[in-house]
A = this chain, B = another copy of it.
Amino acid sequence: MDEIIFRPIGHVRSPFKTTAEIPQQSIHVPDLEAVIEIKEEFSTGLLNLDKYSYIIVLFHFDQSSGYELLVDRPRGGSPGPRGVFATRSPHRPNGIGLSIVELLRVEGNQVMIKGVDMLDGTPVLDIKPYDPGLNPVI
């Protein structure tokens, strides 16, 4: 009854065919290129996206089944356990991933990006402009 239904706006075409090949964070693979293929019906939504150098990509962890509320050995942080919302684990109640990637160019319905940590075939839910001016100053 409180279900929220989304459909992919497109899919990632990346060099990573298995989860084992995926780096921990996109910032660690700044040179790898990939493509987001947007469905033709949505390609108009890309107009002027190329005004931005970086974009936020929201995607579905479609290869992760189930979730764990406690992560015993979170990556890249202090020793666990840690709650799943304090991690970027793909095993989350709603399997939404977030990557900030460099935008190379847009050609039709193809969004060429650099700095990829997404599996080939990953369903993309949304693209947003990345505006560093909206980041908190810490």
Contact = CB atoms under 8 A, between A and B. Distances in A.
Interface string A78-98: 100111111110001110101
A14 interface: no
Interface in A76-128: 78, 81-88, 92-94, 96, 98, 100, 102, 115, 123, 125-128
**How often does this chain occur in the complex, in copies?**
2
Given A93-B9, A125-B94, A138-B54, A84 B4 contact: no
Nearest to A1: B7
Contacts of A102: 136
A24 B53 CA distance: 22
The 7 closest A-B pairs by CB, nearest first: A47-B83, A85-B127, A45-B83, A49-B86, A44-B69, A6-B94, A45-B69
22 contacts: A3-B5, A4-B5, A4-B8, A5-B5, A7-B93, A7-B94, A27-B134, A27-B136, A45-B93, A46-B83, A51-B78, A54-B138, A56-B98, A58-B94, A58-B96, A58-B98, A85-B126, A85-B128, A92-B126, A94-B126, A98-B128, A132-B135
